[in-house]
Structure 1
Amino acid sequence: MTRITVFGGTGFLGRRLVDRLAWAGHEVIVAARHDRDVSVPDAPGTAIMRRTDVRDDADVAAALAGATAAVNAISLYVERRDLRFEEIHVDAATRIARQAADAGIGLVHVSGLGTEVDSDSAYVRARAAGERAVRQTHPDAVVVRPSVLFDPNDAFSSSLRMLARLPVVPLFGHGETRLQPVHVGDVAEAVAHLLERGIANATYELGGPGAHRYRDLVEAALTAAGRHPPLVPVPFPLWRGLSAVLTALPSPPLTRDQVILLEKDNVVGDGANTFATLGIEPRDLVRNGLGGQH
């Protein structure tokens, strides 16, 4: 049994990873801001909650105490008054990487496909800056860049099914943007493989088995729902304007950063380390998340 600290272990990906590691017999320290029930009943390993503010050096040190490896699976998609992209994706990522490096602890840093330092999106720029900071601070760290995550009940799949109920379905642009949605459980399995194999100083891009146009994903959701309303292209500038208005809501259904991400293809690059490198066959959203087998 090894002790692995998972920062953000109560999140969408983090929860799946904690379960996977506990079932493999590891002792998992779940480091997150808010207390949650993180127990994994009947698992041969353990999951122990440790309330952690990653903006605090002492909290991060305490969460890493005795660990043999760590994962930074924290993500902030929408800024709030007390939480900013720079704080979480750059400053906190650097703090975790520095302390892990000083302690000789291996690190897997979860980022995302399409990170660009010059993106129009503040979220994307912060993810890119965080990657660079982690690489400089912990040269042996592994960076994992998953595409948009899905499971049968996630926000992305749910939004497609919601669109399928509308009398007219608006598209982002003409719906030609290509995406490679990836099952959250497959990404958790990949991160566990990296930890268990002790892989270091590498970058992995993790996407589903096929690149789908956004239009094709919408049509798959419509087919699963047995409906065929008209699809209406909506220019991206209009989506940006709408998202600016919605940002004022406490929990905006659409943000400017999400719109920007949908303006460019979000697919695995040529020659990248992928699921195939790890011997994992990922699930496909169309077959496994939009009315297919789960």
Structure 2
Amino acid sequence: MTGKLAVVFGGSGFLGRNVVRELARRGWRVRVAVRRPHLAQFLRPMGAVGQIQLKQCNVRHKGSVAEALRGADAVVNLVGLLYQSGKQRFDSVQAAGAANIAQLTADAGIENLVQVSAIGADAQSESLYAKSKADAEQAVLASVPTATIIRPSIIFGVEDEFFNRFATMASYTPALPLIGGGKTKFQPVYVDDVADAICEALVRKDAAGRIYEIGGPRTYTFRELMELMISETMQKRFLVPVPFPIASLMGLFGEIAGALPFVEPPLTRDQVELLKQDNVVSAEAGVGTLADLGIEPQTVESILPSYMVRYRRYGQFAEKAA
């Protein structure tokens, strides 16, 4: 693939940096389109000199998107939000932003586009996050019918927003909440496996126009994931079931706190809504999986210990109880 240019929108985030590194390893030239290039300089050393370039871009502004796409052979859209804040809204960033990228990709004559969505994307969902993801998929395929849609379950890895968040919470509180009783099911997928899937989708002709739902090799309940995390961090914490109505109230207070400058809400009502549905790979006919892309997923048990040890009170050499 040496010489071909892939433009990655949102390449400085948790998934993005892994995608950029994998693209560079496979020989692509990579242009990373981000809102604040000065905060993404750490990406440059992931490739050879000059292989990775940074470009200022706001997906809500078509002019900057068109400029970022100049000369591209392939496009990857990773832009997404965990929660809404200020002008960063689900509909304007995840839905309209994706529509802008797809429309201008089509205008540039580029047919190779990967749109990263999420399991649970549903135009009829009560969750604004899930609805905007579905709206984005529809807009992308309307403009670029050959686009590939990747829907991952929750993504884990060294810098993830899932295990790290709850491990940090467990560092200063004696209990962790089990939203909805902790019965929601997940199929966590390793970030490197997701990056591999995206890179494979760019080069496989049979991936054009397809939807892939990708998850790890095992399904867990929310409670099981918390128990696994606690075991690895050696933090003895109570797991307290929290009914959805009470969790929604907690989410409201989280949103109020998140309205303050530089405060990230620990929980939002929209996130509570998402937890009402299982987040696992479906058996829907025609929907691809990691296996269809030739990827054997890593297990949570094989990766989690490598970065949960930093939360142990006595460090990485502390011995777990038998």
The two structures share one fold, judged by TM-score above 0.5: yes
Q: 1:247 maps to what in 2?
A: 255
* Structure 1 residue 260 corresponds to structure 2 residue 273: yes
The 5-angstrom pairing of residues 86-165 of structure 1 reads: 86-105=91-110, 106-162=112-168, 164-165=170-171
Contact 1:244 1:256 in 2 (8 A): yes
Separation (CA, whole Å) in 1 of partners of 2:47 and 2:100: 34
Say what the alpha-carbon RMSD is for the aligned residues: 2.0
Q: 2:221 maps to what in 1?
A: 213
* Structure 1 residue 33 corresponds to structure 2 residue 35: yes
Q: 2:203 maps to what in 1?
A: 196
Query: Are the structure 2 counterparts of residues 252 and 136 from structure 1 closer, same or farther at C-alpha, using a change threshold of 3 Å?
Result: same
2:241 aligned residue (230, 233, 248): 233
Contact 1:26 1:45 in 2 (8 A): no
Deviation at 1:228, TM superposition (A): 4.4
Separation (CA, whole Å) in 1 of partners of 2:18 and 2:213: 19
Q: Deviations over 1:167-211 (max 9, x none)?
A: 333211221111011111110111001112243110011111111
Query: Are the structure 2 counterparts of residues 251 and 229 from structure 1 closer, same or farther at C-alpha, using a change threshold of 3 Å?
Result: closer
Deviation at 1:274, TM superposition (A): 0.6
Separation (CA, whole Å) in 2 of partners of 1:259 and 1:290: 27
Letter in 2 for 1:277: D
Contact 1:23 1:45 in 2 (8 A): no
Deviation at 1:104, TM superposition (A): 2.3
Contact 1:13 1:184 in 2 (8 A): yes
Separation (CA, whole Å) in 1 of partners of 2:176 and 2:47: 45
2:189 aligned residue (179, 182, 187): 182
The range that moved more, 205-214 or 195-204, is 195-204
Q: 2:24 maps to what in 1?
A: 22
Q: Deviations over 1:1-25 (max 9, x none)?
A: 2101001111111111111111111
TM score, norm. by length of structure 1: 0.93
Q: Which runs of 5+ in 1 are unaligned?
A: none
Separation (CA, whole Å) in 1 of partners of 2:131 and 2:153: 16
Contact 1:220 1:290 in 2 (8 A): no
Deviation at 1:41, TM superposition (A): 4.8
Deviation at 1:164, TM superposition (A): 4.6
Separation (CA, whole Å) in 2 of partners of 1:7 and 1:131: 16
Letter in 2 for 1:66: G
Q: 2:316 maps to what in 1?
A: none
Instruction: Count matched residues.
Output: 294
1:232 counterpart SS class: strand
Q: 2:53 maps to what in 1?
A: 48
Query: Are the structure 2 counterparts of residues 197 and 83 from structure 1 closer, same or farther at C-alpha, using a change threshold of 3 Å?
Result: same
The range that moved more, 219-228 or 163-172, is 163-172
1:155 counterpart SS class: coil
Separation (CA, whole Å) in 2 of partners of 1:221 and 1:169: 11
Letter in 1 for 2:81: L
Contact 2:232 2:308 in 1 (8 A): no
Letter in 2 for 1:269: S
Separation (CA, whole Å) in 1 of partners of 2:123 and 2:153: 18
Q: 2:63 maps to what in 1?
A: 58
